[in-house]
Structure 1
């Protein structure tokens, strides 16, 4: 029988059914309310993220575009100040440095003044003589003016630490004297330099670690004659010097830069295959630099390898003249009779000299690591362009020496 009206249903059952329906309705309402709360919280979170992200993007945009405070000084500036542009600095980084040293009032003063000047993006690393409290326009003009850049030290292949004196009495400045000259700067009318005697004292007596000497060279440097211990550790190239540095700071700066170059040339990394320690490869490279023209470097290196392997004296005039502080190529019998660790003609000095005898360039270093293959044990300059003749026997070598002399080569 159909009882849709509930006429024949027990009253208590009807009451239970109504209670169940009310309970289900309440539960459904609660679920709907919970879903509404979750949606509300989600939208609040989304809004906060959007607001926070927008603020971060805005401040990032300000940082990149230079938006922000724009202050600018007037005029050409007040007191002298040295500013460094580091390798890899972009215009905004240069502007930040200028602002930090009070050259300009704000970064924007510089970036906006140089926005239409292509030279600003071509500013090179180095030290620049600027002034405090300059207008952005004045700062741009001075930064792109080559005369404001402090002239770097330039070292060439074969340069030595100490001054050289020729037979006519003329003097060629060594690296220490050149470094002293390059350290000079005039600030507000007062010239400031690091004297060469301070540089020499630091080179000879300062703690090698404080000078930046690496572990692979430390023992040899400490053992070397003190006046020669830094020889060969300043490679050819340009060195940007901080005029405010003291003697130790200047030496450490050039040695650190030099060692970075040397690592790229293969020392110490490429020394393993040579049979020599890294410092010995550096010494060998300095001999190659002094003894031959670039085209002969590989063969000169092989001669040195072959002589050392045979237990033969190196007999190189360059080592004798190095200790005599002379720029000559040849030596006299009296010179070769002198004793000392750099006289490679002396029976008591078999092997390499205790230090390099000059600054070896990249090609000399590479020749020292990778000598040409060959049996040569002798060589002599036999052409007026400096090219050498290479021989396996002394008799062949002696004939080439006679021929070169007869032609006036030396």
Structure 2
């Protein structure tokens, strides 16, 4: 190996670059012919970027063993293949692009299908269903609202199945609020057919004016059901083979032992109602006429409480309250008068009959109303006989002065208004004088006797 200083100082060449594109500008030292000996020359100043020459002397020997063969083009063939790699990546990206496009297409197609089914399609069961389902229609429910509730209850597969099946059914638009016994997993068509069938509705309680709590036996032997019987009947339904009925005895026991205030009786009625001759008559007159929805399966306590609370609001809406009662009367006394009006007269005569009652009470004259006598006898009010009128009792207004202890029937809003606002008049006597129920009124007894004679001649009684 030549000693340092035998040759002029040379700058060490860096190793070959990794990529071919870099130009080969220097000749490797091993391949250049040795130059003639020359006197030493002062070293060239190099930029500070490079270290002193001595640091690179140890590498000169390494390049002495290199050969041109090690740097022929074959050695760099691998570098010529490098540009192909980006092409492979482009192909991969292109493939991923196609996959992404296909995914988008599938999603769009799926969304379109879902949207189509959402708008035009719907799920639907087959058949008429299996187990019983108690379903309630609320006041004001539209057909679509009913369908949605049926779907939630598991009756139909979708609300749209019900709506579509009922598009041409005119009965569906007239569907009333209340409880209906449906089946689970019904087709839309089966659900529509069943819900409009009369037998599907259960729990319907209709209380009409004139009704009393106990049943009434008509002259021909037929029985007109009272409030107790109507409530018991409304409670009945068959759900999966099990009866939901409560009995009239169950209902009587509740009224007999209940705290009236806890039941929802208005404060102004609690004390006087507790003075009834029988505890199971304490709610007489405090039930308003109307149509009620009784949930099958409810207890006797729940049924009565619901009925009393709803009635208290209805009575107040009819115009009876502590602030609005008959002249010189308490609200409860006004309610008693209204119940007598309801049982004694037709609507046309409500006002005049109210005035007769007020006029008699004002002069402490017995009311002598057949309706009060027949109330405890559970008979209609058309007439009484001498034996009936001779019987003692708190409700016999032929023998007692003043009002009976409780109302004797369910008064209508019109009867309540007549009791609250009696018209002016001097009438003291009244008798039914027409077969259509109209009454004749008189101020004097002799005129009244004439009216009675004419009524008998017409066969009114």
Q: Same fold (TM over 0.5)?
A: yes
What is the deviation of 1:72? Answer: 4.5
Tell me which moved more, 281-290 or 100-109.
Answer: 100-109
What is the root-mean-square deviation in Å for CA atoms of aligned residues? 2.8
* SS of residue paired to 2:441: strand
- Other-structure match for 1:306: 359
Tell me which moved more, 190-199 or 301-310.
Answer: 190-199
Q: Does 1:232 align with 2:300?
A: no
Shift in CA distance, 275/97, structure 1 to aligned 2, threshold 3 Å: farther
- Which whole-Å CA distance do the structure 2 matches of 1:352 and 1:288 have between them? 12
What is the deviation of 1:394? Answer: 2.3
Higher relative contact order (CA 8 A, sep 6+): 1
1:202-217 matched pairs, under 5 angstroms? 202-217=254-269
- Other-structure match for 1:287: 340
Shift in CA distance, 228/185, structure 1 to aligned 2, threshold 3 Å: same
- Which whole-Å CA distance do the structure 1 matches of 2:343 and 2:381 have between them? 10
- Which whole-Å CA distance do the structure 2 matches of 1:334 and 1:297 have between them? 28
- Asked whether the 8 Å contact 2:268–2:322 carries over to 1, the reply is no
- Other-structure match for 1:25: none
1:133 to 176, 179, 185: 185
1:306-385 matched pairs, under 5 angstroms? 306-346=359-399, 349-385=400-436
Higher helix fraction (1 or 2): 1
- Which whole-Å CA distance do the structure 1 matches of 2:455 and 2:328 have between them? 34
- Asked whether the 8 Å contact 1:152–1:241 carries over to 2, the reply is yes
- Asked whether the 8 Å contact 2:147–2:163 carries over to 1, the reply is yes
* SS of residue paired to 2:274: helix
- Which whole-Å CA distance do the structure 2 matches of 1:100 and 1:223 have between them? 49
- Other-structure match for 1:38: none
- Asked whether the 8 Å contact 1:185–1:193 carries over to 2, the reply is yes
- Other-structure match for 1:124: 176
Deviations 1:190-249 (CA, angstroms, capped at 9, x unpaired):
443111211222232223234332223222222323131111223333222211211122
Q: Which entry has the higher C-alpha Rg, 1 or 2?
A: 2
- Other-structure match for 2:30: none
- Asked whether the 8 Å contact 2:137–2:178 carries over to 1, the reply is yes
* SS of residue paired to 1:129: strand
- Which whole-Å CA distance do the structure 1 matches of 2:243 and 2:426 have between them? 57
- Which whole-Å CA distance do the structure 2 matches of 1:142 and 1:333 have between them? 55
Deviations 1:363-407 (CA, angstroms, capped at 9, x unpaired):
212211222221111111222332222111223323332343344
1:86 to 132, 135, 138: 138
* SS of residue paired to 1:209: helix
- Asked whether the 8 Å contact 2:237–2:244 carries over to 1, the reply is yes
What is the deviation of 1:128? Answer: 0.9
Q: Does 1:153 align with 2:205?
A: yes
- Asked whether the 8 Å contact 1:271–1:281 carries over to 2, the reply is no
- Which whole-Å CA distance do the structure 1 matches of 2:164 and 2:216 have between them? 51
Structure 2 unaligned spans of 5+: 1-117
- Other-structure match for 1:180: 232
Shift in CA distance, 177/120, structure 1 to aligned 2, threshold 3 Å: closer
* SS of residue paired to 2:387: helix
Tell me which moved more, 106-115 or 233-242.
Answer: 106-115
* SS of residue paired to 1:271: coil
Deviations 1:324-363 (CA, angstroms, capped at 9, x unpaired):
22224222233222222211122xx432111111111222
- Which whole-Å CA distance do the structure 2 matches of 1:351 and 1:147 have between them? 47
Q: Does 1:258 align with 2:308?
A: no
Shift in CA distance, 72/150, structure 1 to aligned 2, threshold 3 Å: same
